Structure 1
């Protein structure tokens, strides 16, 4: 038996790393200490300062071992390595340990190369970055190589030697073949210096001006092809300045780190500032860290993040954390220079620091929302419950919902959204522009939409049988297990009659709302079914109703924006272009015109009694 009390008593007062284990000798936690005896003793003393997580950890500790180090920095490095090796469950783990891409120019070679790398090494070469997206790096490199004839090969080329014959890049004028001695070291490095100036943002205007002068010269000499090539170069250079943000090794750089934590999870957000510009950002989610202090999360994040990334900035702005002194010493050794931790108190830095926290909060909410949706999709009990409530024996795998949207009967549209196993199946969403119904008639519009959808489905099924359609190309050939209509009894009865006429047996429910426009329940077989508002079934129905309504409204807005609300006035007799223009100028919007009285309409200069009556009659008949 391992005697905890005895083994704590013989611990040395030395810096080192301790490893906590359970009764199966599995590693639960790895920590470091300035004084092993003092630190490990704290675990086994009653303390109100322990987090809930630490209290739980102590219950499972049955054994520990330790490694003495010469100093705190060695302890911190060893702790970081052991955490990465064993992934202990009670340590705060940075699961997505990332490295970021840089643009590297090998200036220590006679004929430098330009490429992307994730290895930042102090080797005398130039590095631009870090970038959070590899695609941005590749795009910038591609544009630069289109502008300048920079070699693509990895050959070691020494001035005055011939390494090989020119490759195809020379033939297509993408390289000036230093491998074959066709360009001098001085000429080639002049090109590289221009690339460096572009990447470092220096002399942009002067450089572009010189190109514009060349373009003008070629144009005046009627050498239009050369002028066009330079024009394209200018365009590409401007594109680089728009897309790229840079960090030069000799410029000061800053990282801003902040955290948002709720009861169980946390998100740490980091913004990278280089040369005064935000060049990128990233976030890291920590799950199931109930009762853990923010300080310990930030401390572990800093150790893990900067222990695994090669590039360390000059300044790190972060919230307070417990062991600032030893971590600052460690990071100075790792960076090979002084790195300062700061807590911004006021001004622009404080504003940016607060913005990082806001972003962390948003990212955590987004993550939890997606997580809840995933969990909901795995737990299909609410779909089974819905089937039981409606007394449907089959599984509700595919559910289709329909809604109608219009304004005063104009631009009537229908929407169909599909939920497959409880999740939105967006590629199967469909929109319908109402064709056969005039004015505002939701019942007939709904009937038209469902009829068109069913007819499409029947036709596709026939084409599948004939072999003229592949199943994966079908848009309507899979019929739903349940249809949900945004409407009441009238809508449901109409759709049920339609399906019955076509010999199609699909249950139809209406999603009804209360007087505050919130989902209240379902209409099924002429009976309103009230469902607990807090139940997972009601939450699912509400989500479906909100989604089908959103989809209908978005389509309606698209059509409305295309044709303009004022075009509704085109439908009114005795209203020409002049009157339309003056009506819109006077009333500002179509709803104000619709609500206007006879006397108010006459106030518009070009309006008379006949045209005013036409407007009143039109909106009355299209109520």
Structure 2
């Protein structure tokens, strides 16, 4: 492990020009590539405050053994050179977007003598036109089946095509007029290629031309009293219209754009792209990425655009959730690749804003599904638990982990949450929540919640006869039916706090971890490990330690701890909001003559919300049992005055 100070460039030796830099390891391999408007300012930031850097960046710096750079003229050249070097060296510490699944494309092999329509996945092939990607292969096949009525392109494999040519007899699709049968010479290679080109034009968005042509031919056939041909043309038009209906119209017909959205957490990000051509959604695609540094959302967008459009066609317009840091330079790079002007926009209102929100929902769902797949894998969960045990110095993997968090609004309505994960999976029936009685800061609240949880655990052990009375007010009960078991004999269910965890995790840094440990020490519990997980750098803090435990950013152990911490935070926030909402409702009804707690509850139950109660008439309020005319009048007067 190298000391960054050993290869730090000499002061004043780094130019202040735009450029691209490379960090190399001891073997000379490039491990990170970056760009900068000011090379001196950017590179100095790596060496001046090592402790304040992101853990992944710290790992990169200690892995590297040297750094070099190349000066360029402007930011555009820096973007282009950065992309070229990332593609050439494939550095391990650079962000790499990967497909969250294998998406199918509708492909037309225009490079063959007789072009073929088929479903393809994976790397793109030269000489093939691609449309999509689509979410499902069956969606492509449905579309193709409709279009073959009008554009009877070959869909068979090379073997089937060759066998039909040898036998002089077409396949079934040739007999039902869903293939022009070039294999037996019904059409020439040139005629078949023209059909394939028309198919591609329709898929590319030039739909109106073909529908108008068929409508004209249908009218001409009807006027010539060729009613059978007119009926076939009518059915062809309906087939094209059904194919178009499968692609939702979201924007104006002349709109060609890609809509990009990102959902992220501290460790990963999911990207979703909707491809809009001719105002219709022609396909979608998703990627996931491990966040290897503390890049902002704008920087993630910039890196994604450079990677995505390295080989893919660039549309006229790209809608993004936030503007990249160097949006003007990035737009110029993309414009050069397209051979025309490209506009990067953040939609603020209208249909494009609504579509971006839809893509954002898909990105959030994609990230949630990715986490679920990752968490459901038994091997991955076992590795995560073992990594946690190794990092914290535990004798065995923590099969039961409890995480505590507190939530409040500027010190009011303070609540605590406890979530439970067993064998790496959430055990929601074991979740508990606490109304903090003596709030005095987050650390004091954590201390109270942890102490109350484990005091109840000890009390239940006393009640089951597993532990002699050790707490004030606790009494043994060896003669009680069910003594010695964590199962409550009255309900047949496990007691609420019967099982101790192997590990207690608190949301916070050293102060919160120390508070939780102090609570356990006061109760004489010495067989439960404690750690804190701080949000800023995802550091794991052990009580009494001056330095945090740094788990690798890509480790399954850190991923599991983060999931547990986020679930505790979600559970605490939910309870806090419900408690605050209830307090707000009840406070609005305080001080009304003749309205006590029971009547307040009856009113809220009857109307469902304070808003409905405020909008109700005196007659409607008097309909509530126990509410008389004078009380109803007082309620209306108080609430209408409160509303005003």
Instruction: Output the TM-score relative to the length of structure 2.
Output: 0.47
Q: TM-score, normalised to structure 1's length?
A: 0.48
Higher CA-based Rg? 1
